[in-house]
Chains A and B, each alone.
Chain A
């Protein structure tokens, strides 16, 4: 009950004209970023962070979170009309979405996906409202030992689930932590690894790093492929038939549950949610062989799931202060840039901001439904902008974003350096998510570790003294070791198969 009265207070903040306008702006920009292939939600959010410096924190976070879940709506449009996913979580939608478009049912696919996304987003927001009070109460009991244990579990999940190779994921995770050491030591204030450069005293700014890793690396990858022209499928009526609507009910329910559930687990991406939803729909169908030929369920389920995931992924950030994906980590960075720390203290110290932002999720999803149903043809027109023009505009915004963080050209070079680094590392199948998450969480983790060791006077046994931290550490070890056993078993099976 208390949560709902807090939510009402949140609505009084979110419905202020300025915040409404920013929710609209974030939703529109999110849809735009989702529509444009070659720029994902992480880069989009990172580019916009510097532009929010002059805004008040509530408005800035409302805009950036709306942008985040807005990309999930926009990504569908390109998947259905172009057979090219606007962002990774919509990739699976191409299978049946594009087939529906070829059958002249693009409008039906897009409208059902928008309705599903709306319901999925709303469901996850309700879960956040319900989970906020108990989870924050629990998190407020945490000391540095439990915080360090929780962060370790979160990061091990991200590393355990990212990419094909555990070694590569771990390397990226550790590299992110090492990069977070650059600058002043968070406990003693001593400069580390700054190479005498004043620009590095406050550490590597995460905005140019993220823009390099997600934005520039993507532009470079597109430049490698060449800037080809695009061919769009034709749009049709947006009104779905009664039978299509009826067929969508169960996929929407299942997609909402899958997306929200996976959103709670660090490392589970929106792509995993939409993929699992697709598999579930196929398995529950009486005609699984028809999947891939234009099944409505193959579009509605995954699209509901990825939007529920986008909103669900904000639950661990808001309640425990743990980002579960790179884009959520970018949003966490935006909180920090505005002097706020996401997590349980946000609800006690800034309830107006916490609940205002949560209430804005409902408003943002309504705005997105409007933007993606009656106004969908505007986004389709934007798709016709040639990439030869678009990539330069995207690069221009990246330069603007990187420069304006510290008004320094040095950050443009940081962006370039990390862009080239990510471009080549991705070619070698190195996942970038662990690096970003550890880069942002590094200082917090180091502080928690050192405070714990100061309490125990250097004894590491402190981490297994309380039952909660002991359980969390065992869990982290299992998560990290499990893939190694799995691959050993696979190798054994392969060898015995070859022997037979």
Chain B
């Protein structure tokens, strides 16, 4: 399994190198004044492609020195990692319509309660501090621009 992952990633590296080479060729390689914007990326992409190829050969020919380490997490671990990833995507989607406070409250509440498995009171207090508390401390006191909701009635109540 690990060997295949290494080989797959090396092939991915070669594909990335080729796409950058194509992209660099669309930029100017050399101008009247000297090297153009495509000069450095093209050289680097060629080197990256060669290195990926070397890695592909190494991972195919040689035995892995680190042994056959487990690459994919087990089901429970995958669920925990997945929950964090989905929560972050949720923050990205909800931040502008719901505003910082409501989005972060939900984000922290879900992570602490369901992933951290903490008590309800503890969860609510920390989530409130991490959302409303942070909004006022960093937004109002330290002057960071944190978004309010784009939904009129939520914005009207200060969220």
A244: min CB distance to chain B, Å: 40
Among candidates B6, B27, B134, residue contacting A396 with C-beta atoms closer than 8 Å:
B134
Q: Collect the chain B residues with CB atoms within 8 Å of residue A168's CB.
A: 55
| Bound-complex Cα distance A429 to B96 (A) | 38
Contact indicator per residue, chain A 27-64, by CB within 8 Å of chain B (1) or not (0): 00000000000000000000000110110000000000
Q: Collect the chain B residues with CB atoms within 8 Å of residue A190's CB.
A: 27-28, 37
B121: min CB distance to chain A, Å: 12
A170-B51, A223-B80, A400-B134 as given contacts; A388 in contact with B118, CB under 8 Å: yes
Give the A interface residue count (CB, 8 A): 59
| Bound-complex Cα distance A189 to B138 (A) | 35
Structural contact, A458 and B30, CB atoms closer than 8 A: yes
A167-B55, A399-B104 as given contacts; A177 in contact with B44, CB under 8 Å: yes
Structural contact, A446 and B40, CB atoms closer than 8 A: yes
Q: Collect the chain B residues with CB atoms within 8 Å of residue A220's CB.
A: 81, 84
Interface residue? A18 (CB, 8 A): no
Among candidates A181, A391, A407, residue contacting B111 with C-beta atoms closer than 8 Å:
A391
| Bound-complex Cα distance A393 to B55 (A) | 39
A168-B55, A181-B40 as given contacts; A51 in contact with B48, CB under 8 Å: no
A178-B48, A193-B41, A386-B116 as given contacts; A392 in contact with B58, CB under 8 Å: no
Q: Chain A: which residue is nearest B51 at the CB level?
A: A171
Interface residue? A416 (CB, 8 A): yes
Q: Chain A: which residue is nearest B112 at the CB level?
A: A392
| Bound-complex Cα distance A224 to B85 (A) | 13
Among candidates A54, A181, A223, residue contacting B81 with C-beta atoms closer than 8 Å:
A223
Structural contact, A178 and B44, CB atoms closer than 8 A: yes
Interface of B: prevailing SS:
helix
Interface residue? B33 (CB, 8 A): yes
Structural contact, A404 and B108, CB atoms closer than 8 A: no
A307: min CB distance to chain B, Å: 29
Q: Collect the chain B residues with CB atoms within 8 Å of residue A427's CB.
A: 69, 71
A325: min CB distance to chain B, Å: 23
A232: min CB distance to chain B, Å: 19
Structural contact, B48 and A174, CB atoms closer than 8 A: yes
Total number of A-B contacts with CB less than 8 angstroms?
169
Among candidates A192, A392, A396, A428, residue contacting B37 with C-beta atoms closer than 8 Å:
A192
Structural contact, A223 and B35, CB atoms closer than 8 A: no
| Bound-complex Cα distance A359 to B105 (A) | 41
A337: min CB distance to chain B, Å: 14
Among candidates A50, A192, A226, A429, residue contacting B66 with C-beta atoms closer than 8 Å:
A429
Within 8 A of A (CB), among B42-88: 44-45, 47-48, 51-52, 54-55, 58, 65-66, 69, 71, 73, 76-77, 80-81, 84-85, 87-88
A54-B142, A181-B41, A458-B30 as given contacts; A389 in contact with B118, CB under 8 Å: yes
Structural contact, A396 and B107, CB atoms closer than 8 A: yes
Interface residue? B144 (CB, 8 A): yes
A167-B55, A193-B20, A416-B85 as given contacts; A388 in contact with B116, CB under 8 Å: yes
| Bound-complex Cα distance A225 to B70 (A) | 13
| Bound-complex Cα distance A177 to B17 (A) | 13
Structural contact, A395 and B111, CB atoms closer than 8 A: yes
Structural contact, B34 and A224, CB atoms closer than 8 A: no
Contact indicator per residue, chain A 371-402, by CB within 8 Å of chain B (1) or not (0): 00000000000000011110111011001100
Interface residue? A471 (CB, 8 A): no
A interface residues with partner B (beta carbon < 8 Å): 50-51, 53-54, 164-165, 167-168, 170-171, 174-175, 177-178, 181, 185, 187-188, 190, 192-193, 219-220, 223-227, 386-389, 391-393, 395-396, 399-400, 403-404, 407, 409, 412-413, 415-416, 420, 423, 427-429, 446, 449-450, 453-454, 457-458
Interface contacts beyond A175-B48, A412-B91, A454-B35: sample of 8 additional A-B pairs, CB < 8 Å, sorted by A:
A165-B58, A167-B58, A174-B47, A395-B111, A396-B104, A413-B92, A454-B34, A457-B34
A-B contact pairs, 18 of them (CB 8 A): A51-B142, A167-B58, A170-B51, A178-B44, A181-B40, A188-B36, A224-B80, A387-B116, A392-B116, A395-B111, A399-B107, A423-B81, A427-B69, A427-B71, A428-B2, A446-B40, A449-B35, A457-B34
